[in-house]
Amino acid sequence: MEKPVNRARLVKAPEHFISQELIADINSNGLDEKRRGFLRNGFMSAISGAAVGLVAPYTMAAGEGDPAILEKQEWQTTLGKNVATMPYGVPSIYESNLIRRESPGLTRVSAASVAFTPLQGLFGTITPNGLHFERHHQGWYNINPETHRLMVNGLVKNPRVFTMNDLMRLPSISRTHFIECGANTGLEWGNVAVPTVQYTHGMLSCCEFTGVPLRVLLEECGADLKKGKFMLAEGGDGSGMTRTINLESCLNDAIVAWSMNGEMLRPENGFPLRLVVPGVQGVSWVKWLRRLEVGDAPWNSKDEAVHYIELMPNGDHRQYASIQECKSVITTPSGGQQLLDKGFYNVSGMAWSGRGKITRVDVSFDGGNNWRTARLETPVLTKSITRFNIDWVWDGSPAILQSRAMDDTGYIQPSIKTLRNVRGTRSIYHNNAIQSWKLDSNGEVSNVQVG
Amino acid sequence: MFKLDKLSVCLGFTALVAITAQSSFAQSGSAKFPGIGRVATPAEVAAWDIDVRPDFKGLPKGSGSVEQGQVIWEAKCASCHGTFGESNEIFTPIAGGTTKDDVKTGRVASLKDMKQPQRTTLMKVPTVSTLWDYIYRAMPWNAPRSLTPDDTYALVAFILSLGEIVPDDYVLSNTNIAEVKMPNRNGMTTKHGFWNVSGKPDVNGNACMHNCVPFVQIGSTLPDFARNAHDNIAEQNRMYGPYRGADTTKPPIKELPGLSGAGLAHAADTHSASSKGPAALFKNENCSACHSPNAKLVGPSIADIAKKYEGQSGALDKLMVKVKAGGSGVWGAIPMPPQAQLSDEDRKTLVSWVLSGGK
């Protein structure tokens, strides 16, 4: 494989790679094939050294200033690429480190696994579609929208079938909401298990979804919303993913959605149709949605009676633990990151609540002993991610960074200790504890649990 | 005037009801959104509405014995779940951890005493309908919806016999399934604040701002040996900006790099690291769903295949044919589905790569 060339860095010209002896030799005897060979070898070794970045990138050359300013660059002096060279754009090649990743060893088969969103590199509140986390139970398909159908049956006057053509003609709404897997941060119930925020919190994304309100579709089919307290949502994948939806809690804000951030849903996220159930754990946002059945009792389907259940210390299993409670996490800096130097930093993170709006986020730099209130950036939307920022001047001494969110129901995000006191350590799901990041004096940040 | 208004509204409403009722026979039955959607035929509803609830609404007629279940199990299920449903290799175990006493009480004791390292399906699931629905809709894992109702009754019967919930000579059917007593039937609760948006949380934090804790104690950290367990974190962060990734292939650096970044040894950029080649093809074409590098999954491991065919002439051609057409019997009862979607070139790349042991 070709060695990667780091174009982002200024690499010093390969100088002083010819020995004094060789210079003297060439000066007195002239160049011949043997001596050219020496030169070539010397040159190549200097290049390979530079390519792995052993040369410090930001060292200003002695003299008049920064070569990034003083020297003409390729992009100033040559013709760039045509429009539509990339008809559907992709991120810069310098952004290729930020991708969805699996956690090694988490599952044995990738078709029933998770790929985590790289929260450590995101800004604002919206997750780019290509980085939206993935969680599949039996693999994903590129379903042909021409042959995709949505059926509504059960306690309805008229069981009906809709094509994508039908659905996309209906009056649509667009809403921005977070989706979080119930198992997000679940690896950390017992102890610290993974190094970075991508793996601790990356089963979290937030997008603008467009589609038809669930209520409109159910009313259109003459659903009996008095007897029909529940709905089964079913996916068109191999797992035939089914989930009981509590209509009372979501009838006013659930969406049958085809779009995510202005484009159609990505196949990995349910193209061409998925259910959006704001505030409720991701497994209920059934992907490749093909059927809605209205009923008078829950279904106890596999993912609500076998998998997504929480084990309490008394041996009880909590079933239908749906709501994602108020939670926050600092994303920059976060675990696995390295700070360059002392001085000023913008510390930033995300806060969200399945019950409503974020009203406040506090940040501590001393492991939770003292707190300062962070800036909430707009927009602050219900059941959506809110970005927070806080100024910080780091003096170079060790620190423990934490964030603590509150929502408009008055709920305050708890510590891991408080959470464990009630729910033990075997829950897997709904770990919304305060996250702690330890910063060492060498600038390296690591995942720790306090208390 | 008021009365008249009310009357006209009433008439209008009646007319609306009449239109709706009449149009329910038409292809487009909507008053509000004419031309959108159509009535589902009974056959269509029957084709898709396969779910089974705890009250057994939706359960089709049929039956199957433990003995029949065992035969199907060994052919289609055992490679992932183990001969006795005990395997923890690919998915969590199906059977184990329950006792005859649990069947009596409806509470699985091992969920409380923590003696079981892993929760099995039988320890968790409270309703037998869930097992039936799960298997019928989604199993076998790589060939969902391929089992008949009778197959499903037989498999459920076999699983129940593994948990000693039914005797070995049991025949499970739609008429006796309601008599099955699941070991954890009383172990589920919905008495918590998560079911509804208006539910009351069981835990809450506090909003203390100053001198909140007497001392800060770190209770858990990532052990040193796990430093590189998620690969090099340097390659999972930006190569520029204030927050870089730590080079986890090396021990932590001694001191701050400084604004120049000097001492940051992690500067290998991964942007041109290619995700092409046979390994990526193997994953993208979903071969990795059944074959892993070293351990047996649904199918044999790459290492085992390479070993079996090592030095055999004609192995490449033979396997090329097999990958295209599918096959069974060489590695057990689970068939390899045909992979006709692969181009000849890709097929050759993949088979050569597998025969080389994935190198």
Residues B128-156: what's their mean pLDDT?
96
Q: How far is A129 from chain B (nearest CA, A)?
A: 18
C-alpha–C-alpha distance, residues B189 and B178, integer Å = 21
- Of the candidate ranges A154-158, B117-121, B144-148, the one whose mean pLDDT is the lowest: B117-121
Give the pLDDT band (50/70/90) at residue B316.
confident
Q: What is the pLDDT of residue B338?
A: 79
Task: Tell me the β-bridge partners of A391.
Answer: A346
Task: Tell me the β-bridge partners of A447.
Answer: A437
Which 172-211 residues of chain A touch chain B by CB within 8 A? 191-196, 198-199
Give the pLDDT band (50/70/90) at residue A245.
very high
Our CA dihedral for A326, A327, A328, A334, rounded to 10 degrees, sits at 180
* A251-295 per-position pLDDT tens digit: 999 999 999 999 999 999 999 999 999 999 999 999 999 999 999
Closest CA to B60 of B149, B155, B127, B180: B149
Q: Is the pLDDT of residue B10 over 60?
A: no
Q: Is the pLDDT of residue A35 over 60?
A: no
C-alpha–C-alpha distance, residues A324 and B281, integer Å = 37
Across all residues in chain B, what is the average pLDDT?
Answer: 86
- Interface TM-score (ipTM) > 0.90: no
Residues A71-88: what's their mean pLDDT?
93
C-alpha–C-alpha distance, residues A7 and A430, integer Å = 43
C-alpha–C-alpha distance, residues A347 and A353, integer Å = 21
Residues A317-327: what's their mean pLDDT?
96
Give the pLDDT band (50/70/90) at residue B101.
very high
Give the pLDDT band (50/70/90) at residue A163.
very high
Determine the Cα angle at B120 with ends B115 and B123, to 5°.
Answer: 75
C-alpha–C-alpha distance, residues A213 and A174, integer Å = 10
Which 116-175 residues of chain B touch chain A by CB within 8 A? 119, 121, 124-127, 129-130, 133-134, 137-138, 141, 144-145
The minimal CB distance from B262 to the residues A56, A105, A232 is found for A56
Residues A327-344: what's their mean pLDDT?
97
Q: Is the pLDDT of residue B82 over 80?
A: yes
Terminus-to-terminus CA distance in chain B, angstroms?
A: 88
Q: What is the pLDDT of residue A56?
A: 44
Strands A274-276 and A255-260: antiparallel
Q: Is the pLDDT of residue A433 over 70?
A: yes
Q: Which of B125, B256, B259, B291 to mutate to test the interface with A (most CBs of A within 10 A)?
A: B256
Residue A246: what are its φ and ψ, rounded to 5°? -80, 100
Q: What is the pLDDT of residue B9?
A: 43
* A351-404 per-position pLDDT tens digit: 999 999 999 999 999 999 999 999 999 999 999 999 999 999 999 999 999 999
Which 85-124 residues of chain A touch chain B by CB within 8 A? 93-98, 101, 103-105, 108-112, 118, 120-121
Contacts of B232 (CB under 8 A, 6+ apart): B245, B247, B248, B249, B266
Query: Which amino acid, one-letter code, is at B77?
Result: C
State what percent of residues in chain B have pLDDT above 90.
56
Q: What is the pLDDT of residue A399?
A: 98
Backbone dihedral region for residue A426 (phi beyond 0: left; psi -120 to 50: alpha; all else: beta): alpha
C-alpha–C-alpha distance, residues A420 and A426, integer Å = 9
Q: Is A359 helix (H, G, I), strand (E, B) or coil?
A: strand
Size of interface A-B (CB pairs under 8 A): 415
Q: Locate B96 and state its tokens.
A: 């184990």
| Per-residue CA distances from A90 to A84, A86, A133, A312, B33 (Å) | 11, 7, 18, 45, 39
- Contact state of A293 with B51 under an 8 Å Cβ cutoff: yes
Q: What is the pLDDT of residue A281?
A: 96
Across all residues in chain A, what is the average pLDDT?
Answer: 90
> What is the number of other CB atoms lying within 10 angstroms of the CB of residue B236?
25
**C-beta separation of A448 from B217 below 8 A:** no
Q: Is the pLDDT of residue B15 over 80?
A: no
Residues B2-17: what's their mean pLDDT?
43
Q: Which residues in chain B touch residue A56, judged by CB atoms under 8 angstroms apart? A: 260-262
| More confident of the two residues B312 and A55 | B312
**C-beta separation of A127 from A266 below 8 A:** no
Q: How far is B257 from chain A (nearest CA, A)?
A: 5
**C-beta separation of A405 from A326 below 8 A:** yes
* B255-276 per-position pLDDT tens digit: 998 877 766 755 555 544 556 7
C-alpha–C-alpha distance, residues B184 and B116, integer Å = 15
Q: Is the pLDDT of residue A38 over 80?
A: no
- Contact state of A449 with B203 under an 8 Å Cβ cutoff: no
Q: What is the pLDDT of residue A32?
A: 64
- Contact state of B267 with A54 under an 8 Å Cβ cutoff: yes
